[in-house]
Amino acid sequence: MIQKQITPSALLVSSDIIESLFGNFKHVIERCPQADINRMVLLIPAFCGKINAEIINQSLSCVRHVDLMKWEINNIPYTMRGKRLDIFNNDNPKTGEK
């Protein structure tokens, strides 16, 4: 149904594209092995398409940081590592407040 909304023609699909996308993702996360993988997944769309100054400007002007933080709290599960850090630091989970 979704494909028919995009185009009546058949779509050419290959797993090579997905494998390449996750290969790029793995290459990036290797640089930071302690990173929160749940949040790092948000990098994947950055590997799709071409990003130029206009797209970056549009993205930065349309989205507020506080909105991103709220979205993250509601949509990205908290990792066990994050929970441990919060307990160790006596922080409230997901808020960073002491």
- pLDDT level of residue 95 (50, 70, 90 thresholds): low
Q: How far apart are CA 98 and CA 89, in angstroms?
A: 8
CB 11 within 8 A of CB 1: no
pLDDT digits (tens, 9 = 90+) for 43-87: 888 888 888 899 889 888 988 889 988 888 888 877 777 777 778
* Closest by Cα among 7, 82, 84 to 40: 82
In this prediction, what percent of the chain has a pLDDT beyond 70?
90
Q: How far apart are CA 62 and CA 80, in angstroms?
A: 32
92, pLDDT greater than 60: no
Q: How far apart are CA 23 and CA 44, in angstroms?
A: 10
Q: How far apart are CA 63 and CA 53, in angstroms?
A: 16
Mean residue pLDDT of the chain comes to 80
* Closest by Cα among 24, 39, 21 to 79: 39
How many Å separate Cα 44 from the centre of its chain?
Answer: 6
In this prediction, what percent of the chain has a pLDDT beyond 90?
3
